[in-house]
């Protein structure tokens, strides 16, 4: 599916924290309607890369463009308005609000902004999509873990983003929940969403991703379909060490 | 607007109308208490508009209030009185905007300390200037009575409630609640957190300055230590918290009993007021962490769950 228009491109994206280079000159493109998996061992810079895209961190150098327009160095709010929505590695909901209000927040302030009944209708539609239609009036404190993740996903979807960033959205789920979670992301993929996901769950990567970028120690070490990169000796070495390659 | 909105609007107008009848009793003591309640009611309600959703505890009320009294004190000989409260509002709003830009990046306790220091700093500047020019205080002599001051404050109260009601239904109000819950989420949703916070911080700043300008004729003699008294900032915070900041009607529910209590304390124990203020604060935080609003909601929720079991 690498025939869609380029939505997001990273060129030489670099992030230094003092002497540590967390992300070292990363290049990749995300095409329209594509699910791109960003994978690699712990500490390889995947989440930092996601933070550079969403504007949580500003890149030290390099450029990131969204539909040809540079977004690198812009504040997070500007990048969100241009159409990048995200979930967080540790779920972040708005604790004083109901599920519906949490998702309405995404519909009111996201990429496509609505207000009043239109925002609420959008929020309800997205809640329905993630399977939480019945919990609209619940407090977020009453939710199970996977449901908090669903709310966060719904909030990100409510603004109709151009690109959706999922930071280990499947992490911490039990086997049943994991199945539901993978189904849900499959549904997004079938809808033609453009998604970048950071993930450790290999089954999910194989079944969900059109393309993968593998990172190790801040650098890109492989790129291709999940089948290609997961059999790449360098990728195996990065994950398992030299003896297994 | 929904039927419920209309009902609340009519109810609010009726209550304000009844409150406006107080001077007709001719009871000077009741009217003096009424001025206090109206003053603290306006200050606490406008304070809660910003500090309620954001959880930024501002102790700057006295700074803006003091600036307002000094607008009247220094302008009364030059301008007609009616021009002074609006002028104070504009100056207070601009000052709040500048302070907001400088401080709203600060988090938690740093913000609290800065706002407390702000009132003290302005007080010192005014004192220094007065010492330099040689006159210590200034007189505000008008023919305004307590009744006039009371009605003016009720008018401001009506405006504050309308503003609060409108903000509560606006994008700005929603943005502030999101910021109060999680600022990082807010910015990733596309909210301009700095602009939103400053925009709403201006409201209590302008209102406190207007109230100060209106109260000045009551003081007659204006000096920095009364105009900028830090006690005022603390009282506003305590009253708003006693009532609860989660609802627009919350602060006034705290203001009325606290003003009456304060009256008793300052008459019976004039030398221990600060001590007793601190004690009240501890008790409120300990017993009513979410104020009367929280208590009311708890009782309401309990009643609902009881019904569900029957």
DSSP assignments along B35-101, one per residue: HHHHHHHHHHHHHHHHHHHH------HHHHHHHHHHHHHHHTTTS-GGGHHHHHHHHHHHHHHHHHH
CA distance, residue A33 to nearest chain B CA (Å): 22
Enumerate the residues of chain B whose CB falls inside 8 A of the CB of residue A112. none
The answer to whether B193 faces chain A, any CB pair under 8 Å, is yes
- Separation of alpha carbons A192 and A195, rounded Å: 9
pLDDT of residue A212: 94
Interface of B with A in 229-268 (CB under 8 A): none
The answer to whether B177 faces chain A, any CB pair under 8 Å, is yes
| Contact between B189 and A92 using a beta-carbon 8 Å cutoff | no
- Separation of alpha carbons A219 and B195, rounded Å: 37
Contact B185, B178 (CB under 8 A): yes
How do residues B249-302 score in pLDDT, each as one tens digit? 989 999 999 999 888 888 898 888 888 888 888 888 888 888 888 888 888 888
Q: Residue B244: inside a domain, yes or no?
A: no
- Starting at the edge strand that comes first in sequence, how are the strands of the sheet with A211-216 ordered? A84-86, A163-167, A195-198, A35-39, A211-216, A219-224
Task: List, in sequence order, every residue forming a beta bridge with A76; answer none if it has no partner.
Answer: none
| Chain A residues touching chain B at CB-CB below 8 Å | 54-56, 75-78, 80-81, 85-86, 88, 92-97, 105-106, 108-111, 113, 115, 155, 159
Contact B9, B202 (CB under 8 A): no
As for the ipTM of the complex, it is: 0.92
| Contact between B188 and A105 using a beta-carbon 8 Å cutoff | no
Enumerate the residues of chain A whose CB falls inside 8 A of the CB of residue B185. 88, 92-94, 105
Structure tokens at B28: 């000077």
- Separation of alpha carbons B248 and B8, rounded Å: 11
- 3-state helix, strand, coil split of chain A in percent (to 5) is 40, 25, 35
∠ CA A237-A38-A84, rounded to 5° = 165
**Cα-flanking dihedrals φ and ψ of residue A10, to 5°?**
-115, 130
Q: Residue B263: inside a domain, yes or no?
A: no
How do residues B108-139 score in pLDDT, each as one tens digit? 788 888 888 888 898 899 888 888 887 667 88
DSSP track, A1-36? -TTSPEEEEEEEEEEEETTEEEEEEEEEEEETT-EE
Contact B49, B200 (CB under 8 A): yes
Residue B166 belongs to domain spanning: 3-229
Closest Cα partner for A1 from A187, A179, A190?
A: A190
- Separation of alpha carbons A38 and A49, rounded Å: 9
Task: List, in sequence order, every residue forming a beta bridge with A212; answer none if it has no partner.
Answer: A37, A224
Q: Residue B273: inside a domain, yes or no?
A: no
Annotation: CATH topology of A1-82+196-245: Rossmann fold (3.40.50)
**Cα-flanking dihedrals φ and ψ of residue A195, to 5°?**
-130, 135
Contact A63, A14 (CB under 8 A): no
pLDDT of residue A147: 94
| Contact between A108 and B171 using a beta-carbon 8 Å cutoff | yes
**Cα-flanking dihedrals φ and ψ of residue B116, to 5°?**
-65, -45
Residue B162 contacts by C-beta under 8 Å, 6 or more apart in sequence?
A: none
pLDDT of residue B1: 67
pLDDT of residue A194: 95
Mean pLDDT of all residues in chain B?
A: 89
Confidence of residue B212 (pLDDT cuts 50, 70, 90): very high
How do residues B21-65 score in pLDDT, each as one tens digit? 998 888 999 999 999 999 999 999 999 999 999 888 999 999 999
The answer to whether B5 faces chain A, any CB pair under 8 Å, is no
pTM assigned to the model: 0.90
Domain count, chain B: 1
Q: Residue B261: inside a domain, yes or no?
A: no
Task: List, in sequence order, every residue forming a beta bridge with B221; answer none if it has no partner.
Answer: B139
pLDDT of residue B307: 65
Q: Which residues of chain A have pLDDT under 70?
A: 1-3, 243-245
Structure tokens at B207: 């209102």
- Separation of alpha carbons B213 and B54, rounded Å: 27
pLDDT of residue A1: 47
- Residue pairs between chains A and B whose CB atoms are closer than 8 Å: 63
pLDDT over 70 (residue B157): yes
CA distance, residue A104 to nearest chain B CA (Å): 10
∠ CA B77-B75-B151, rounded to 5° = 100
| Contact between B178 and A80 using a beta-carbon 8 Å cutoff | no
Residue A92 has its nearest CB partner, among B175, B185, B191, at B185
Q: Which residues of B60-80 are buried (b: 16+ CB within 10 A; e: fewer)?
A: bbbbbbbbbbbbbbebbeeee
| Contact between B177 and A96 using a beta-carbon 8 Å cutoff | yes
Residue B178 has its nearest CB partner, among A75, A88, A94, at A94
């Amino acid at each position: 599916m690498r025939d869609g228009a380029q939505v997001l491109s990273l060129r030489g994206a670099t992030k230094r924290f003092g002497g540590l280079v967390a992300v070292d000159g990363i290049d990749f493109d995300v095409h329209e309607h594509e699910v791109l998996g960003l994978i690699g061992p712990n500490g390889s810079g995947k989440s930092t890369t996601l933070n550079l895209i969403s504007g949580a961190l500003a890149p030290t150098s390099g450029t990131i463009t969204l539909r040809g327009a540079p977004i690198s160095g812009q504040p997070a709010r500007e990048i969100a308005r241009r159409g990048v929505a995200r979930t967080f590695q540790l779920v972040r909901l708005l604790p004083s609000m109901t599920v519906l209000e949490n998702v309405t927040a995404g519909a009111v302030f996201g990429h496509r902004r609505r207000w009043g009944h239109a925002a609420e209708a959008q929020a309800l539609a997205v809640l329905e999509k993630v399977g939480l239609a019945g919990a609209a009036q619940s407090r977020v404190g009453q939710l199970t873990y996977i449901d908090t993740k669903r709310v966060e996903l719904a909030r990100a979807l409510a603004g109709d983003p151009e690109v959706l960033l999922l930071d280990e959205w499947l992490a911490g789920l039990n086997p049943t929940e994991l199945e539901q979670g993978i189904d849900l992301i499959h549904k997004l993929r079938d809808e033609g969403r453009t998604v970048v996901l950071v993930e450790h769950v290999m089954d999910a990567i194989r079944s969900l991703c059109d393309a993968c970028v593998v990172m190790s120690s801040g650098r890109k070490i492989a790129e291709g379909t999940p089948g290609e990169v997961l059999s790449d000796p360098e990728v195996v070495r990065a994950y398992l060490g030299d003896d297994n390659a | 607007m929904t039927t419920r909105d209309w009902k609340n609007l009519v109810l609010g107008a009726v209550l304000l109308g009844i409150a406006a009848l107080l001077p007709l009793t001719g009871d000077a003591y009741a009217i003096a208490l009424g001025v206090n309640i109206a003053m603290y009611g306006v200050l606490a309600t406008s304070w809660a508009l910003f500090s309620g959703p954001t959880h930024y505890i501002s102790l700057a009320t006295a700074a803006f209030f003091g600036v307002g009294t000094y607008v009247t004190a220094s302008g009364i000989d030059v301008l007609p009185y009616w021009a002074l409260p609006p002028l104070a509002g504009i100056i207070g709003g601009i000052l709040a905007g500048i302070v907001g830009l400088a401080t709203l990046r600060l988090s938690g306790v740093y913000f609290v300390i800065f706002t407390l220091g702000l009132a003290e700093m302005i007080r010192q500047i005014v004192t220094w200037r007065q010492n330099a020019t040689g006159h210590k205080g200034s007189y505000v002599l008008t023919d305004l009575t307590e009744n006039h001051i009371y009605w003016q404050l009720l008018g401001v109260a009506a405006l504050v409630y309308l503003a609060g009601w409108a903000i509560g239904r606006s994008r700005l109000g929603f943005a502030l609640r999101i910021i109060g819950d999680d600022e990082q989420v807010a910015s990733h949703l596309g909210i301009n957190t700095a602009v939103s916070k400053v925009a709403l911080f201006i409201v209590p700043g302008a209102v406190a300055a207007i109230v100060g300008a209106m109260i000045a004729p009551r003081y007659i003699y204006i000096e920095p230590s009364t105009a900028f008294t830090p006690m005022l900032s603390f009282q506003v915070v305590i009253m708003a918290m006693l009532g609860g900041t989660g609802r627009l009607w919350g602060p006034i529910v705290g203001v009325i009993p606290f003003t009456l209590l304060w009256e008793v304390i300052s008459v019976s124990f004039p030398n221990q007021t600060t001590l007793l203020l601190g004690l009240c604060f501890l008790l409120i935080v300990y017993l009513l962490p979410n104020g009367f609003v929280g208590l009311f909601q708890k009782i309401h929720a309990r009643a609902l769950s009881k019904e569900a079991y029957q």
